[in-house]
Amino acid sequence: MKIIRTAIPLNGFNIDELTQPFTFNDFDIIKNPVFLQREFGFPILVKYLGLHEFNILVDSICFYAAIGCPDEICENPMLLSIPAFDKIDIFLTCLWFVKDNSCNAPNLFSYVLESGVYSFLNSHSLYTTCIGSHVETKFTDEELNRTVEIVQKLLNIAENDTFNKSIYTDAIVSIPKNGIHLGIMNQVDYNLRNRIERAFLFLKSARSSSFILMKISLYMNIYECLFTTDATEIVHKMAERVACYYTKDKSERLLTFRLIKDAYKIRSRYFHGKELEKKTTFTSTPDLLQRLDNLTRIVLTKIIIEDSSVFLRKDLEPYFEELIFS
């Protein structure tokens, strides 16, 4: 059995406030250039990557893992790299639940020192803050542990175990067919996903877009996944249900109701290729999106942590009726 060494450099991720080692899915967060140079066989790997890419690798904060694998996997590290990259991507998506950020893992390096076999992957998702910018964000131990809790909760509520597969099961599933690799997110029929999973997919898409109007539109799709039960009076029903679910305070409910209605107007005009209303200015949309982002974070977290069993019901109409008239 040989060892596949895998490093995933992180952008926009600051570890200055961490007081304890952190591990997720066998990957440790490290910043140790000397260690990485040794583990990745400097100067051998420089020949494959180039000095610039190699320096980015060893100088970055990284998710790092050294995993023993059967020879057939070690001969093609991509079989391990692709599902591992998918899982780290899920973790980075879920960092949004603790605070707005633009943390990214732009690429992955895998190397089998004993045989000289390596693989290199570029990410299919690059996240931005809610207003489409890239910033460096500090995280605490508590925030990272909270993120893991949310990831695990998502695994538990995935009816078809979309995310919850062993690393070797992923390796088998991820073997390219006809030269085309389908990532883990595309290997499950969309219709088999529950409403929380569908909302999560729209969250990933929203975080991957840097265009504010697209972000607003995709946030509205999240709410449609979770708060609609039919195709009639969608906007009014959705705004009313979100407001009542979010808070019992009447003034806050009214503000939330108006926020959802205003955001949906933008979504409707943007998706239909129309100009925005004159009152929707260049400076007002970022403010609306920041309020929408904060609301969505609170609502989605509550659904995932406290009320997932409710939102996995086939018929939500009785729940919403009781919610509104309680």
Could you say which of 134, 157, 186 is where a domain stops? 186
Pair (147, 168) in one structural domain: yes
CA distance 311 to 105: 31
Pair (171, 252) in one structural domain: no
What pLDDT, on a 0 to 100 scale, did the predictor assign at position 164? 46
Token code pair at residue 205: 């898409």
Q: Tell me which residue range forms the domain holding 216.
A: 194-325
Pair (223, 142) in one structural domain: no
Pair (264, 311) in one structural domain: yes
Pair (119, 243) in one structural domain: no
Q: Kindly state the DSSP code that residue 99 receives in the 8-state scheme.
A: S
Pair (175, 200) in one structural domain: no
Pair (107, 48) in one structural domain: yes
What pLDDT, on a 0 to 100 scale, did the predictor assign at position 199? 95
Instruction: Write out pLDDT tens, residues 124-138.
Output: 789 999 999 999 999
**Angstrom distances, CA of residue 261 to CA of 137, 292, 300:** 31, 11, 18
Pair (245, 153) in one structural domain: no
Pair (174, 208) in one structural domain: no
- The structure tokens 């729209």 sit at 202
Pair (172, 210) in one structural domain: no
Could you say which of 136, 161, 186 is where a domain stops? 186
Mean of pLDDT values over 8-37:
94
CB 115 within 8 A of CB 74: yes
Phi first, then psi, for residue 207 (nearest 5°) are: -70, -25
Instruction: Write out pLDDT tens, residues 170-198.
Output: 444 445 556 666 655 666 677 778 999 99
What pLDDT, on a 0 to 100 scale, did the predictor assign at position 277? 80
Give the confidence band of 165 by pLDDT, cuts at 50, 70, 90.
very low
What pLDDT, on a 0 to 100 scale, did the predictor assign at position 144? 98
- 42 pLDDT more than 70: no
Q: Output Rg (C-alpha) for the chain, integer angstroms.
A: 22
Could you say which of 166, 186, 206 is where a domain stops? 186
Pair (163, 225) in one structural domain: no
- 59 pLDDT more than 50: yes
Mean of pLDDT values over 229-254:
95
Pair (170, 277) in one structural domain: no
What total of structural domains would you count in the chain? 2
Which has the higher per-residue pLDDT, 82 or 225?
Answer: 225
Mean of pLDDT values over 153-182:
56
